[in-house]
């Protein structure tokens, strides 16, 4: 081992068993910054992944809609696009028609204006309804049964049900946009009555406050659409971005040739603004937390500068014995590097422990504060999703080590500039 590495370790562990106080404070500062950054990024990744999954399942891998808001003869459109995709060798998993419209819901005491979404049930679609789409609804049901969805029953987002003060089995009145136009002219307006058959919790409180799901046939009857639909959701076997872009280009070319009024979008296209905001939020939060590590780096710089002042005579002896200035400087840089590496290991270990045991930690917190913990006013904290990305770990490690190393440069240069004669005279 080179002597300057040994000297650096000796400064960190002066008694060979215990780390120096100033080094310990620096390591704690780095590890706290690293752990907070890892926790925040992993949680943000988890929420982002859930939102992306929700959007993909809601809008399908690719969505077809019309410039005129409604699509006629959708079965013929469906058969034509299936033939075109088969020619191109693109494997289609399933096609699902849907209807979307704003409606008014009214209970005995409350009213709301949510987005009604009409979907195919497995009774209507038979084997055409993909297992993924079926599970999408079933996984989000916190009360009720998927089989109960029919012409007289609907599902509500749990926050919306709470707003309307209704439970399973209660009845709600649904006013279509056409009926709402007549409300000011006549009192003889008869809405459609539905029974609440299920409550949904998708993971997005804002979306659930605006969520109503009914069968597509019931929606067509309510809105007096006949056989019209709002669009088609297409699910593909291969869901990677390149494959979806190829399918999108194929469908765009086909619609230009056969039906120019049809619009083709991937779920990412339809939610580009939201996805951009999610990514920017993560970047901004990460940038802010990096300042925590920068603050910790000041403690590293102070600790090493004090070490230079305390070890001035010792540095003079090393110079007199033939040590080069760059070797002395490098020994102090190595101290900063070791602090950064140890802070990384401790910070990552603590972050992983906290994330993997978040349920226990939040349970302990609720016992201490003696109240139920809620997130965004709707969901308990136990359901916070976590998703690890290796690139986040690599970036955090590199940034923290670089900052720690950089913090040691000023003390290192100060030590390298000491003259042997002046250092030896210093007491």
Among 156, 178, 153, smallest CA distance to 110 is for 156
Report d(CA 176, CA 167) in Å as an integer.
22
Q: Give the angle subtended at the CA of 309 by the CAs of 307 and 310, to the nearest 5°.
A: 65
Q: How far apart are the first and last CA of the chain?
A: 30
For 168-223, what is each residue's pLDDT tens digit?
Answer: 999 999 988 877 665 555 555 678 899 999 998 876 677 788 889 999 999 999 88
Report d(CA 318, CA 311) in Å as an integer.
11
State the DSSP code for 382. G
Report d(CA 76, CA 82) in Å as an integer.
10
Q: Please report, for the chain, the start and end positions of each structural domain, with discontinuous segments joined by +.
A: 3-52+275-425, 68-260
Whole-number pLDDT of residue 185: 55
Report d(CA 18, CA 86) in Å as an integer.
70
Among 22, 115, 21, 123, smallest CA distance to 408 is for 22
Q: Which of 65-69, 133-137, 226-230, 231-235 bottoms out in mean pLDDT, i.e. has the lowest? A: 133-137
Q: Give the angle subtended at the CA of 114 by the CAs of 108 and 118, to the nearest 5°.
A: 105
For 229-282, what is each residue's pLDDT tens digit?
Answer: 998 888 888 878 888 888 888 888 888 888 888 888 887 887 777 778 777 877
Whether the predicted pLDDT of 13 surpasses 80: no
Whole-number pLDDT of residue 377: 46
């Amino acid at each position: 081992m080179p002597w300057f590495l040994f000297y650096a370790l000796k400064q960190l562990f002066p008694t060979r068993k215990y780390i120096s106080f100033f080094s310990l404070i620096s390591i704690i500062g780095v590890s706290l910054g690293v752990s907070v950054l890892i926790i925040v990024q992993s949680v943000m990744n988890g929420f982002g992944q859930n939102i992306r999954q929700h959007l993909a399942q809601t809008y399908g891998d690719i969505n077809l809609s019309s410039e005129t808001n409604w699509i006629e003869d959708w079965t013929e459109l469906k058969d034509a696009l299936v033939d075109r995709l088969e020619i191109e060798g693109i494997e289609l998993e399933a096609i699902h028609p849907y209807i979307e419209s704003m409606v008014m819901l009214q209970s005995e005491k409350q009213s709301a204006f949510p987005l009604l979404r009409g979907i195919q049930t497995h009774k209507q679609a038979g084997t055409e309804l993909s297992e993924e789409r079926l599970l999408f609804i079933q996984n989000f049901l916190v009360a009720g049964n998927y089989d109960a969805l029919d012409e007289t029953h609907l599902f509500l987002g749990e926050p919306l049900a709470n707003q309307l003060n209704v439970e399973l089995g209660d009845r709600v009145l649904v006013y279509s946009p056409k009926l709402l136009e007549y409300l000011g002219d006549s009192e003889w307006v008869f809405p459609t009555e539905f029974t609440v058959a299920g409550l949904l919790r998708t993971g997005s409180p804002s979306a659930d406050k605006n969520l109503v799901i009914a069968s597509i046939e019931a929606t067509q009857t309510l809105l007096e659409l006949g056989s019209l639909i709002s669009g088609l959701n297409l699910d593909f076997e291969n869901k990677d971005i390149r494959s979806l872009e190829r399918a999108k280009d194929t469908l765009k070319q086909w619609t230009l040739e056969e039906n120019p009024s049809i619009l083709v979008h991937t779920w990412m296209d339809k939610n580009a603004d939201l996805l951009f905001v999610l990514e920017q939020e993560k970047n901004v939060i990460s940038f802010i937390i990096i300042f925590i590590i920068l603050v910790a780096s000041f403690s590293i710089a102070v600790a090493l500068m004090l070490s230079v002042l305390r070890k001035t005579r010792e540095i003079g002896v090393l110079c007199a014995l033939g040590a080069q200035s760059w070797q002395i400087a490098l020994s102090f840089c190595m101290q900063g590097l070791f602090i950064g590496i140890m802070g990384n290991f401790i910070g990552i270990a603590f972050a992983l422990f906290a994330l993997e045991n978040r349920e226990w930690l939040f349970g302990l917190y609720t016992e201490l504060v003696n109240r139920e913990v809620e997130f965004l006013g709707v969901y308990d904290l136990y359901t916070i999703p976590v998703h690890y990305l290796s690139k986040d770990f690599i970036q955090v490690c590199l940034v923290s080590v670089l900052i720690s190393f950089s913090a040691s440069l000023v003390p290192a240069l100060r030590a390298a500039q000491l003259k042997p004669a002046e250092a030896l005279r210093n007491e």
